Amino acid sequence: MATPNPNPNPNPNPNPPSRRRSSLLRFIAIGILALAILLGIAVLITWLVLRPRGFVYTVENASIHNFNLTDANHLYANFDLTIRSYNPNSRIACYYDSVEISVRYKDQTLATNGVQPFFQPHKNVTRLQARLTSQTVALYGSMPKDLRQEKRSGDIELDVLMKARIRFKVGLWKSEDRTMRIFCSPVLVHFSESKGFERAYCDVEL
């Protein structure tokens, strides 16, 4: 007579593959969540320590010299600009590896020039002096007529743009290069130097 099996439904595999996969996925999800929380805490601590604040740019002075608009609608002029850069941060400094400044009237660029690279420490004010020259710049459409009218009125509204490649510095750490764009508009420039210049504030895109 056969001996009866005391365990009629044996389970040769107490941990099937589906259960092992579920445990592995749960472990990975917990690991990712813990890493995200730690990263968020690190970012929060860094922000609380550094308290980063946006840089502030203004056009402190602007003037036009040797303005000449020929009958062939070619512009000759010198634009002298003073741009103030203020770094309000107490722990963040900035390298300006390249700086390009442009003057625009409506949708046309009238002049472009670069300034020397510089380093701006924290809690610092730096003033950039730039001369931009229009040399035989051809004007199209209604631009010549509008510029002549502005010249007769004694004032002209310009846009000043600055494009810079920068790196931030915190202690010994330096960030990778990034592009900063600064847009100042409107900048009201007087043809007569006897009129005072009104400071123009700029928007910053980083």
Partnered with residue 63 across adjacent β-strands are 80
Contacts of 129 (CB under 8 A, 6+ apart): 80, 81, 82, 115
State how many domains the chain has: 1
**Per residue in 45-76, pLDDT tens?**
444 344 578 999 999 999 999 999 999 999 99
Higher pLDDT, 119 or 10: 119
Q: Is residue 20 part of a domain?
A: no
Whether residue 27 is contained in a domain is answered as no
Q: Residue 70 belongs to a domain with what CATH number?
A: 2.60.40
* 26 within a domain of the structure (yes/no): no
Q: What are phi and psi of 76, to 5 degrees?
A: -120, 130
Residue 116 lies in a domain: yes
Query: Which residues have a Cβ under 8 Å from the Cβ of 114 and sit 6 or more positions away?
Result: 98, 99, 100, 101
Return the pLDDT at 22. 72
> Does the pLDDT of residue 42 top 80, yes or no?
no
Indicate whether 7 pLDDT > 90. no
User: Cα–Cα distance between 64 and 131 in angstroms, integer?
Assistant: 10
Nearest CA among 38, 36, 166, 143 for reference residue 95 = 166
Within-domain flag for 50: no
pLDDT value of residue 19 = 66
Whole-number percent of the chain with pLDDT over 70: 83
State which residues form the domain around 162: 56-205
pLDDT for res 18: 65
Is 185 domain-assigned? yes
Q: What pLDDT shows up at residue 73?
A: 93
| Cα–Cα distance for residue pair 173/39, rounded to 1 Å | 18
Residue bearing tokens 């390298």:
95
- Residue 11 lies inside a defined structural domain of this protein: no
**Measured CA distances, 137 to 62, 117, 161 (Å):** 20, 27, 18
The answer to whether the beta carbons of residues 204 and 133 sit under 8 Å apart is no
